[in-house]
Amino acid sequence: MQRPTRRQVLQFAAAAPAAGWLARHGVTAAQEPDGAISVYASGLFNPRGLVFGPDGALYVALAGTGEADQAPSAVKIENGCPVTVAHGLPSSRGMSGAVQGTGSVAFLGEQMYLLQDSQDDRGDLLDTQPNGVYKVEADGTATLVASISKWMNENPTKEIPGDRGKLGETFAMLAGDGFLWVVESNCGQVLKVGPDGSITRVADLSEGHPVPTGCALAPNGGIYVGNLTDAPYPQAKAKVVEVAADGSVKDVWTGLTMVVALAVVDGVLYACEMSTENTTQRPFVRPGMGRIVRQDGPSGLVEVVSGLDFPIGMTTGPDGMLYVASPSLGSDGAAGSVLRIDPKSTYLTPPKDLYDAATCPGFQEARAALAPAFATMAAEADKPAATGEATPPANSVEITIKDFKYAPPSISIKAGKTVTWTNLDSVAHTVTAVDKSFDSGNLNQNQSWFFTFDKAGTYDYICSYHPDMKGTVVVE
């Protein structure tokens, strides 16, 4: 099929800016050009970062099953299916139940490196298998090269987020010229890690908790870095910055949403958005709302493909195609895949039978099990916010939520009293009883929620997004 000219693409963009929307609402999209989107690999346990190795094969980091088992940490794709090349790094469950484990793979020459990204709160791993860079040995075991968890604790960023955990969130890794770039998401920083284990901070991106995520090489020795934003992942508030080799930072692409990965093809930037049009109700994201977009001006974009289920990793192949790993949520099994997508496409949507021919072990079964998990997620995200029309009694006890703290953190009240929490932070929080006896649900900025305590007792509560936020209500 002949490629549309740039003018035709622009005309189509002007005529049908909501093609993704049309597809989601059952309106048939135009015929997809043959080969514009296809399944390159399947049967993956929570695929994350991916890269083509020096042998020309695709390597994929796997977060695993969420259990401390022997699922592979990284695989090589052969004939569309995974072959284990590294194992032994932990897999665990992170915030919102998402599986976390090995997050990225990169090569310096022939040597393979993995970036471990266990759930930030796993302090028990600090001295044994911390987050950081590991070297893959000939027998497939992984040896620690640089503990980024430990280094972060000794070298804090300018701002420390309220949800700071003990390990950090080592989200993405990319091979530079003789060293590895690492993006740490929780505090927000770009690091250089040498094969000798040395760690240097190139840029401190901690201000305002942007949650930097995916990266791609930029011209002149720097990198592009996208950001996720904080919950509830608002529309068009994410961006891509360029971190130059000297550490200076400038915006290069704004107006994006929940960016998790970047790629450059023929000098043009592409962003992978994990989920768009997010809601204000946990888990905020819904399946089928992920997309790949192409830069079109400093704040402009053209949709390459929409309708993806939580895409999380993206790289370019030697063939100039985009390779996209998904889903990042919803499965503990082998439901993960890598799609091969023509970057020159516009307004693609995955055809319904896309996965029918994928036969890697465990894939079809795990994919069938995704449907109910996805349906639950979508229903939760679309539920109306917990805060209703009702107003608390006039003698309610007030607690504010500010700077990731409940103030006052501990109160004593008589049975029958009502407590009202008001979130003054720009990021969302919750008021969630540790024993699950009450839960505010999502509280956006300036939203309030109240609860009447009828029974004596000590009620410990946390923010379910930021479990380090703790409060106590003692009812006498």
Judged by the rule CB under 5 A, the positions of this chain that interact with Cu ion are 429, 463, 465-466
DSSP string, 368-412: HHHHHHHHHHHHHHHSPPS--S----TTPEEEEEETTEEESSEEE
Residue 429: strand, helix, or coil: strand
Based on CB atoms, which residue is closest to Cu ion, 345 or 447? 447
Residues 6+ apart with CB under 8 A from 85: 59, 72, 74, 75, 76, 112, 136, 140
Smallest separation (angstroms) from Cu ion to the CB of 440: 11
Smaller CB separation from Cu ion, 459 or 465: 465
Token pair recorded at residue 204:
């401190």
Least separation in angstroms between residue 468's CB and Cu ion is 9
The enclosing H or E element of 15 equals helix 6-15
Closest CB 466 distance from Cu ion, rounded Å: 3
Which residue lies nearer to Cu ion by CB, 115 or 469? Answer: 469
In terms of CB distance, is 365 or 403 closer to Cu ion?
A: 403
Q: How far is the CB of 447 from Cu ion (least distance, A)?
A: 12
CB-nearer residue toward Cu ion: 269 or 463: 463
Residue 145, helix vs strand vs coil:
strand
Residue 320, CA distances (Å) to 10, 279, 302 in order: 22, 35, 18
CA distances from 83 to 45, 61, 65 (A): 12, 12, 16
- Please report how close the Cβ of residue 463 comes to Cu ion at its closest, in angstroms: 3
CA distances from 3 to 7, 39, 344 (A): 11, 21, 8
Residue 307 burial (CB count, 10 A): 19
R_g of the chain, CA atoms, integer Å = 23
Q: How far is the CB of 380 from Cu ion (least distance, A)?
A: 18
- Smallest separation, CB 93 to Cu ion (Å): 19
Closer to Cu ion by CB, 150 or 466: give it: 466
Cβ closest to Cu ion, residue 323 vs residue 404: 404
Burial of 267 (0-12, 13-18, 19+ CB in 10 A): exposed
Backbone angles phi, psi at 113, to 5 degrees: -125, 145
CB of 404 to Cu ion, least distance (A): 6
Q: How far is the CB of 373 from Cu ion (least distance, A)?
A: 24
Of residues 286 and 466, the one with the C-beta less far from Cu ion: 466
DSSP state of 434: T
State the Cα–Cα distance between residues 145 and 147, nearest whole angstrom.
7
Instruction: Give the residue with the Cβ less far from Cu ion, 259 or 463.
Output: 463
Min dist CB 35 to Cu ion, Å, is: 45
Task: Mention every residue, 6+ apart, whose C-beta is less than 8 A from residue 68.
Answer: 90, 91, 92
Confirm if 419 and 451 have CB atoms less than 8 A apart. yes
Rounded Cα distance, 435 and 452, in Å: 16
CA 276 to chain CA centroid, nearest Å: 12
Handedness of CA 186, 59, 295, 349 (dihedral sign): negative
Closest to Cu ion by CB, 141 vs 400, is 400
Amino acid at 278: N
Name the residue among 183, 190, 209 with its Cα closest to residue 117: 183
Kind and range of the H or E element at 366?
helix 363-382
302 vs 469, which CB is nearer to Cu ion? Answer: 469
Minimum distance of Cu ion from residue 336's CB (angstroms): 29
The nearest distance, CB 465 to Cu ion, in angstroms, is 4
For tokens 């091969």, name the residue: 340
Rank residues 166 and 466 by Cβ distance to Cu ion and give the closer one. 466
